Amino acid sequence: MTDFFRFLYELIVSPNRSLLWKLPPILGFLPGKSELYVLAFIHKSTAITNDKGQALNNERLEYLGDAVLGSVIGEYLFNKYPEQNEGFLTKMRSKMVNGEALGSLALKMELDKLLENHVTGATSIKHISGDAFEALIGAIYLDKGYRMAKRFILRKMVERYLNLEELEKAETNFKSQLIEWAQQGKKEVCFYTDIEPYDPTRFISYVSIGDRLFGSGTGVSKKEAEQQAALETLKEIKP
């Protein structure tokens, strides 16, 4: 009951009450340490500092939430697919928790409406919302423990928004992701792929965008080498 009365009090007097009002339906429970949840929605671009001059943002919470999310989803997939090997589980998890997927999810959960509105700069609202989702998990973990964080992830994320059958089928195609990115920005992407000079059993692929050389990759097939080169390039252009 303490949590209940403290939260009720904060709903009335806290300077963050507009955020706090929106939390219970999203969380499915009443927050205890509401300052953690407030912090979860402060992106680093707001540049708020505390009285010691330290940056006050959700990056640390995001770091923690990312780890907890990985662990919960890891266990979920481990139990869900008792006959699949570790490679399958790793791939499925990365389809569920990559930045793009979490960003879309956070927008569906309307977390963008809870963000501190000082956000500026080039980072997209989708990306920032995805980070806030992870930070929110970090906040729940610190406030209510692993079990509650797990319940939140399974009920509010996995059961509500994820279609595992679709995800199983989804190919993570880096080459097409890169080409799509280039088309949006009206840039020209080329793949130069050939037999690797020093190891003729393998292929090597280079990616150029405009007249600049980006990632390279090798693999036992042309496709594998190109995927690897595309992935390296994506990492470079979307840090």
In the complex, the residues that contact its own copies under the rule CB under 8 A are 54-55, 59-60, 62-64, 66-68, 70-71, 73-75, 78, 83, 85-86, 89-90, 138, 141-142, 146-147, 198-199, 211-213, 216, 218, 236
Minimum Å gap between C-beta 12 and its own copies is 30
Which token pair is 129? 């919302």
Q: Which of 131, 134, 226, 232 is catalytic?
A: 134
Give the nearer residue to its own copies in terms of CB position, either 67 or 167. Answer: 67
Which token pair is 32? 């205890």
Give the span between the Cα atoms of 126 and 107, in whole angstroms. Answer: 7
Q: Are 86 and 11 in contact (CB under 8 A)?
A: no
Q: Is 134 a catalytic residue?
A: yes
Give the nearer residue to its own copies in terms of CB position, either 103 or 219. Answer: 219
Give the nearer residue to its own copies in terms of CB position, either 11 or 167. Answer: 167
Minimum Å gap between C-beta 225 and its own copies is 13
Q: Which of 62, 66, 143, 232 is catalytic?
A: 66
Minimum Å gap between C-beta 33 and its own copies is 14
Q: Is 187 exposed, middle or buried (0-12, 13-18, 19+ CB in 10 A)?
A: middle
Give the span between the Cα atoms of 39 and 53, in whole angstroms. Answer: 16
Sheet holding 203-209, edge to edge: 189-195, 203-209, 212-219
Give catalytic residue positions: 66, 134
